[in-house]
Amino acid sequence: MSYSTKVIDHYENPRNVGSFGKDEEGIATGMVGAPACGDVMKLQLKVGKDGVIEDAKFKTYGCGSAIASSSLVTEWVKGKTLDEALAIKNTQIAAELALPPVKIHCSILAEDAIKAAVADYRRKREEC
Amino acid sequence: MLKLPVYLDYSATTPVDPRVAEKMIPYLVEKFGNPASRSHAFGWEAEKVVEEAREQVAALVNADPKEIVWTSGATESNNLAIKGAAHFYAGTKGKHIVTVATEHKAVLDTVKELERQGFEATYLEPQPNGLVTVEQFRAALRKDTVVASAMAVNNEIGVIQPIAELGELCRANGTIFHVDAAQATGKMPLDLGVLKVDLMSFSAHKTYGPKGIGALYVRRKPRVRLEAQMHGGGHERGMRSGTLPTHQIVGMGEAFRIAREEMAAENERIRMLRDRLLKGLLDIEETYVNGDLEQRVPHNLNISFNFVEGESLLMAIKDIAVSSGSACTSASLEPSYVLRSLGRSDELAHSSIRFTLGRFTTAEEIDFTIRLLHDKLGKLRELSPLWEMYKDGVDLNTVQWAAH
């Protein structure tokens, strides 16, 4: 498997790795995938009172393309509103990282992680 | 100075030993004769060295040279043995085949092809240590079992199947017993004077010989017969037609001669290195050895590094050449069928790395490998949500995953 230079860059220097503190406010978490399938992504968004994503962090169990897809997404969502973040499509991620066909599922997983995190945020807001 | 990347994938293939390569070269240029040419000195010379090589291959496994048939490799040997015997004896014995779920694909897919042709097959699931038991095998054999096939040494986890005992069962049952020994030659003693094995497959390139050449042992006493799969000039007593590649055969003969003479000392050295690697890697938290450690050739170490996915680990350790049981590189996303057969969880199967050591592996390379894995695993586990959950005391089996 040969990787694009962008995948290798994100893999070797992943952006925004980590988790937010459990007590921090405005945190939404999306966890998608399954260990049995070989990839699990956890995406966390820190959303300001104005509904804009101030910060994002990720942790990913998976191949280099899965790690790169989630790293890229944390960069892209920052400064976006939730609706703008939801507009990010897997095809844009795949194109940016030049993912080969067998790795398209990694970009789909990254898109799903955004959706799951936003859904988590909106659910928590309703509960308040 | 350490030369990078470090090669630790000797079960995929081995380099040709320089002594072997040197011996092969004259048979490409000056001594190019066809061993089947009976009418001149070029042919006689080629035939002579082909027969000498046959003796070397036979000597490694204590067989008669007349029992050795040249093929293109272990895949062809497996095909010829299993299809050839099944077809020859189906009419008199029956159409049932017994094999093991962790065999190489060259055996499994051959048996599947026979199933399409109307044969019936039993695939034995090994125990969690990778071994089939004699009892399992005994229970699977039927009156109409025409062929049974079990590998001597598993290519992924290096475990040694109890072929001596399985051979006794097959002989008593009138079943032809085939053994794929591609990963065994030079790694463990094989004595066909004692083993009740009827057919045995060999490959040159797993034992420091060239690629593209192999052999099949076909027992003469009691005589085992095969239906040819390749038809033509009637070479190899009609069992495998095709002009013999003299230089390849000379290479295989020399490689097997070296294996016979140096095996005992070499394996002790490799066992020391393997133990050093094992000790260095088991220092890492949440690591598991796949396959039995005792019934195993010293060349193989297959380890699962929990909570880290195999392909990303391979990417992190690209300074060493190893292979992973995670097939995320293929379209299937399936982890190794061998590890799954052992009952390993999918995540442990996805997290496995196969290290295979060989003739040219050094202690320096092993120490480098240990350091590299310690470094990179730490980094990848910092990235892993599963590791974080494990450290927080979450039981991953209780999590509802959004499977995709």
ipTM metric: 0.93
Q: Which of A1, A63, A71, A99 to mutate to test the interface with B (most CBs of B within 10 A)?
A: A63
| pTM for the structure as a whole | 0.92
Q: Which residues of B touch A (CB under 8 A)?
A: 307-309, 311-312, 315, 326, 328-331, 333, 335, 345-347, 350, 382-388, 396, 401-404
For residue A76, what are the contacts with CB-CB under 8 A and spacing of at least 6?
A85, A88
Type of residue at B239: M
CB B306 within 8 A of CB B346: no
Q: Which of A4, A8, A10, A40 to mutate to test the interface with B (most CBs of B within 10 A)?
A: A40
CA dist., res. B359 & res. B8, Å (int) = 11
Strands A39-47 and A53-61: antiparallel
Mark the ranges of chain B whose per-residue pLDDT is less than 50.
328-332
pLDDT digits (tens, 9 = 90+) for B312-321: 999 999 999 9
**Chain B residues with beta carbon closer than 8 angstroms to that of A14:** 383
- φ/ψ of B48, rounded to 5, equals -60, -45
Chain-centroid distance of CA B124 in Å reads 18
- φ/ψ of A87, rounded to 5, equals -80, -10
pLDDT digits (tens, 9 = 90+) for B89-109: 999 999 999 999 999 999 999
pLDDT score of B333: 58
CA nearest to A68 within chain B: B312
pLDDT score of B344: 86
pLDDT digits (tens, 9 = 90+) for A27-74: 999 999 988 888 999 999 999 999 999 999 999 999 999 999 999 999
pLDDT score of B311: 87
Give me the helices (H) in B228-336, please: 246-282, 310-316
CB A58 within 8 A of CB A41: yes
CB B252 within 8 A of CB B53: yes
pLDDT score of B326: 61
Instruction: Name the token pair of B398.
Output: 């209780």
pLDDT score of B336: 84
CA dist., res. B396 & res. B274, Å (int) = 32
CA distances from B258 to B52, B251, B272 (A): 14, 11, 21
Which strand ranges, in their side-by-side order, compose the sheet holding A27-34?
A27-34, A39-47, A53-61
pLDDT score of B263: 97
CB A18 within 8 A of CB A59: yes
pLDDT digits (tens, 9 = 90+) for A70-122: 999 999 999 999 999 999 999 999 999 999 988 999 999 999 999 999 999 99
The answer to whether the bond into B126 is cis (omega within 30° of 0) is: no
